[in-house]
Chains A and B, each alone.
Chain A
Amino acid sequence: MAVRKRELHDVMVVGSGASGGWVAKEVAERGLSVLMLEAGPPRNPTRDFTEHIAPYQLKFRGFGNQEQLLRTQPVQRLCYACDEYSHQFFVNDLEHPYTFSTDKPFMWIRGRQVGGKTFCWARESYRYSDNEFKAASRDGYGEDWPITYQEIEPYYDRVEAFIGVSGSYEKLPQLPDGKFLPPMKLSCGGVLAKQVIEHKFGWRVMPDRVANLTVPHRGRPACHYCDQCQRGCFTASYFNSPSVTLPAAAQTGKFTLVSDAVVSHLLIGKDGQAKGFHYIDRVTDEHREAYARVVVLAAGALESTRILLNSQSSSYPQGVGNSEGVLGRYLMDHFTIEGAGGNISSLGSARREETGRPCGFLIPKYVNTSDQQQNHSFLRGYRFDGDGSQELYDHAFGMPELGNAFRKKVREEIPYYFAIEAQGECLPRADNRVTLDHTRKDAWGIPVLHIDASYGENEKAMATAMRNDITAILDEMKLSHVTPPKAELSIFGKNIHECGTARMGNDTKKSVVDRNCKVHDINNVFVTDGAVFATQGCYEPTLTIMAISARAGEHIAQGFRRGEL
C-alpha cells in the first residue's frame, strides 16, 4: 500500500455527480477545503461528446457495435441511452460485476466518470411534496421522512435557480411549483392529449419540467433543441455537474478533484471516527489513502451503501452505519408500464416537422392525492408521461411497394405516433436489500453487491390500475394501430432511480442517517445521495437528491463554523 500524502482536508466527497457536485459547491463556497474522489476518468468534450454526429458518420450507423456491447456491456446495453453514441458514459460490466438471483433480475446502470450519470440523465426535475415526505402518516405504511416540504423548499429554490429548470406553473398541491424558466412547447400530439385527457378525465396534462435551459442562464446559452442530450452538450445547456456545480466549486480555489480513484472503504481511527478513505487508482491499481475531517458519500445509492458495508472494523463489525442491520435495506426503484401507443390519424402528414424538444408531457399523480381520488386497491400512486411525434422511417418496414413508389410513400405518408407510459411508486420493503457478496470481487478487488429486490403485491395492484388508465386514454384518443400497454412491470433497476438502502429517519433503530444526512452511528460521515430516501413517490429523484445535498452541505459548513465537526 502506497500512502502518498497526508494532507488533511476539511471535507472529502466521494462521487462527482448530482449529489457530490452540490455538496462540494456548498461547502467550498463557505470556505472549507474539499477533496473529491471520483472513481471514473475525466471526460473531454471534444473527444468524448458525440453531439451532432450523424448516423452515417459512425461505423455502425448508430445501431451500435452489438458484439462489443454484448461482450463488455451486457447490462448497460439494456439502457436506452447506452448506444453507439453514448456507450462511453456507461461502465464496463466485466469490471463492475454484481450478483442477483435469476428469478429477481436487477439492472444496475452505472456511469463512472467525472460527472457520473449527469451526462446521460433524462433531466426530469420535480419537487416532492408532503405527499411523499409524510406518506406514512397519510396511509400508515412505513416511515415518514424526518423533514417536511417546508424545510426542504428553500433548497429546491436554490437548486432550481442555479441549475435552471424549465416548467409551467400549475398550482397543484401534490406537485409544488418552483423557480422555473419558461416551459417548452407541447408537440401537436401533446396538445391533442391535453385537450382530450383534461376534458374527459380531468387529469392535468403539462410540459415536462426539465433541467434544460429555455433562455440563457448564468452564462450558459439556451438549449438549441438538438435532442441529443445523452451524447454530451457542448453548450452546457442542460444540467450536468462538470459544467455547472463543479466549476462553481473549483472557482473558489478550495476544491481538489482526484479522478480515477476507486474508493474501497472508510478509514476508521482509534476514536471510532472516520479519518478518510482507502482507494485504488483505477489505472495503476496503486492503493492509496486520503484524509479529511468530514467525509461524504455521494457515489450513488448502491455504491455509497457498498462502501459503508465494506467498511468493517472492530468498531463497526457489520460496516459503518449498520449497527441495527438497517443498512442495505428498503431498496426502491420506480416501475413502469410501457409499450402503449398508436397513430393519430389526423396528424398524419406529407410535410416534415422540426423535431428536437428534449421533453414530452406529464400527467401528474392524481390517485390517492385527495379524498376524491382514492383507489383503495393499493397504496400511493403513479404518474404518466408521453409524447407524440412523426415517425422518421419506421413506417417503411410495413410497406408493400418497392422502388421509387416505396420511397415516395415513405417520404410523403408520414404517420404520427403517440406513446404513453406510467411510472409508479415502489414501497420501501425491508426484504428488498443489498448485501456484500464476498465470493466475487470487482476489477479492483472490492467485494461486489448481491442485490435481492422484487416488486410486491402493492406494485402489481397499482400496475393494474395504470394499465386500465392507459387503455382508457388510448381509447379516448381515437388512435389507430394501437399497441396496448405491456402486461409486465419493468425490471427492478431499469428506471435508474434506485433509492434507499441507507435511509433517513429520526429513529436510530429504523434508519441509517439523520435528518441532516449524518450517519447515526458516527459523527463525521454523511450520505447525501438517493440512498437516504425514505420513500420516493412516483417522480424522478434527482432534483430532491440535489436539494438534500445542498442542505447537507450547508449543514456541514455550519457544523464547522460552530466547531462541532
Chain B
Amino acid sequence: MSKLPPPDLADLITRRRWLLRLGETVALAGVSGVIPKAVAKPLAMATTPNATALPPGLYLPSADHLAHALEITTRPYITRPGSETEYAQFISGPYEPQFFSHQDFQIVTRLVEIILGQVSPAALSQTAQWVDFWVYSATGVLKAAQQLDPLHRSLAVAYYGETTVTDLETSNPQLVARQGIAVLHELSAARYGEGFLQITEPRQMELIDSIRAAKTEDPLRQFFDLIFKETVFGYYTSAEGLKELDYKGNTYHGQCPGCAV
C-alpha cells in the first residue's frame, strides 16, 4: 500500500537505540546487536536444553525471540508463513491510486499538504496514500456492516448505541469523496474560472476557509472533514509523524516510566 519510511526515521523509536543507549551491554550470540546484562543474563539462563524440547505453543524468553524482535525494524518485514497479521507492503515505482483518479489524487495530495504544512515529500505521499486506501476500503466496510447478522447487530447497538451503528450502515465515504471532488471543481471554476489545482495558494486557502465555515451537512464540508480526519490518522501513525510527536512508547525502557515528582 504505502512506501515504508526510510530506515533512519524508522529506527528512531526502536529498541536498538534504547539498547545502545544503556551503555551496560553485552554481546549475545545470535542477536544482531547488543542487549543489557540485566536482560541478557536471565535470557541466557532461560535458554536451556529443555526449552528446545517444549511442545509447540510453549515458549521461554529467549535470545531467538529477542533477535526476531530486533529484526522487526529492518525492511521489509518478513511475514512468517501462517501469520494472520497483514503487514504493510513495499511498492516500487510510482503509487497507483486505488480509489481516486490520478487527477483527483493530486487534489487529495494538495489538501493533505494544506492541512499538514511542510512535511517531507515521503510523509506527504504516504499520508495521501493512506487517505486513498482508507476511502478505497470503505465500501467493503459498509457492505459488511449492512450484512451484520441481526444478533450481532443488536450487540453492536448495545455496545455503541443505535446512532453509531446506523452511521456505520449508511456512511458512504466514497460517495462523500466523489461528490466533494466534483463540487470543489465547480466551486473553484465558478469563483476563479480555474480548477482547484490551478488557482493560487491564497485562493485555495480562501476556498478552504469558506468550506470549513460551512454547515456540517454541506457536501464540501463533509469531504474536507473526511480528508482532515484521515490526514491526522495517516500522518500521526507514520514514522515521521510519530517522530515529530516525540512519541516515547512502544519501546524498551530500562525503568518503569512514571511521575518524577
Contact = CB atoms under 8 A, between A and B. Distances in A.
Interface string A40-65: 01111111101111111111111101
Contacts of A219: 42, 45-46, 60-61
A357 B1 CA distance: 33
B192 interface: no
Contacts of B54: 247, 250
A70 interface: yes
A58 B257 contact: no
A185 B256 CA distance: 7
A393 B61 contact: no
A187 interface: yes
A564 B120 CA distance: 74
B225 to A, nearest CB: 10
Contact of A355 (B83, B119, B249): B249
Interface stretch (A285-293, A303-311, A395-403, A461-469): A395-403
Interface residues of B, number: 99
Interface stretch (B97-105, B175-183, B228-236): B228-236
A514 to B, nearest CB: 32
B198 interface: no
Nearest to B68: A46
Interface string A13-42: 000100000000000000000000010011
Q: Classify chain A's interface size.
A: 35 or more
Contact of B56 (A46, A67, A87, A259): A259
Query: Chain A at the B interface: mostly helix, strand, loop or mixed?
Result: loop
Contacts of A107: 155, 159
A211 interface: no
Contact of A191 (B60, B140, B254, B259): B259
B121 to A, nearest CB: 16
B88 A224 contact: no
Contacts of A106: 155
A565 interface: no
A74 B160 CA distance: 13
B250 A58 contact: no
Contacts of A100: 151
A271 interface: no
A352 B248 CA distance: 7
A242 B58 CA distance: 4
A225 B253 contact: yes
A70 B2 CA distance: 24
A105 B257 contact: no
B155 A74 contact: yes
Given A67-B140, A235-B39, A250-B54, A242 B59 contact: yes
Interface string B45-85: 11000110111111111001110110011000100111111
B57 A113 contact: yes
B45 to A, nearest CB: 5
B149 A246 contact: no
Nearest to A78: B159
B251 A247 contact: no
Contact of B58 (A48, A51, A87, A243): A243
Contacts of A56: 2, 4-5, 10, 88, 126, 237-239, 242
B94 interface: no
A393 B245 contact: yes
A403 B116 contact: yes
B210 to A, nearest CB: 13
Interface in B100-127: 114-119, 126
A221 B242 contact: no
Interface stretch (A137-145, A226-234, A428-436): A226-234
Given A78-B156, A226-B249, A67 B137 contact: yes
B15 to A, nearest CB: 6
A352 B245 contact: yes
Interface string A297-316: 00000000000000000000
Interface in A75-119: 75, 78, 84-85, 87-88, 93, 99-100, 102, 105-107, 113-115
B155 A105 contact: yes
A323 B130 CA distance: 59
B66 A393 contact: no
Interface stretch (A371-379, A404-412, A521-529, A552-560): A404-412
B252 to A, nearest CB: 4
A70 B249 contact: no
Nearest to A108: B155
A187 B1 contact: no
Nearest to A98: B151
Contacts of A71: 144, 147
A19 B63 CA distance: 28
A214 B255 CA distance: 9
Contact of B88 (A59, A75, A227): A59
A114 B253 contact: no
B8 interface: no
Contacts of A47: 80-83
B86 interface: yes
Contact of B57 (A54, A216, A259, A403): A259
Contacts of A411: 244-246
Contacts of A472: none
B42 A54 contact: no
A251 to B, nearest CB: 5
B145 interface: yes
A121 to B, nearest CB: 17
Interface in A103-162: 105-107, 113-115
B247 interface: yes
B140 A225 contact: no
B30 interface: no
Contacts of A78: 155-156, 159
B236 A115 contact: no
Contacts of A46: 64-65, 68, 80
Contacts of A7: none
Interface in A465-503: 491, 494
B89 interface: yes
A105 B158 contact: yes
A407 B117 contact: yes
10 contacts: A16-B57, A62-B237, A65-B137, A67-B141, A74-B149, A226-B251, A352-B247, A353-B248, A356-B253, A402-B117
Interface of A: 16, 38, 41-48, 50-63, 65-67, 70-71, 74-75, 78, 84-85, 87-88, 93, 99-100, 102, 105-107, 113-115, 184-188, 190-191, 214, 216, 219-228, 234-237, 242-243, 246-247, 250-251, 255-257, 259, 352-357, 392-393, 396-397, 402-407, 410-411, 491, 494
Given A63-B233, A71-B144, 16 more contacts: A42-B57, A56-B238, A67-B141, A84-B86, A87-B84, A93-B152, A100-B151, A219-B42, A220-B42, A226-B252, A234-B65, A246-B58, A247-B51, A355-B247, A355-B248, A411-B246
Interface of B: 1-2, 4-5, 10, 13-15, 38-39, 41-43, 45-46, 50-51, 53-61, 64-66, 68-69, 72-73, 77, 80-89, 114-119, 126, 130, 137, 140-141, 143-145, 147-152, 154-156, 158-159, 205, 208, 229, 232-234, 236-239, 241-242, 244-261
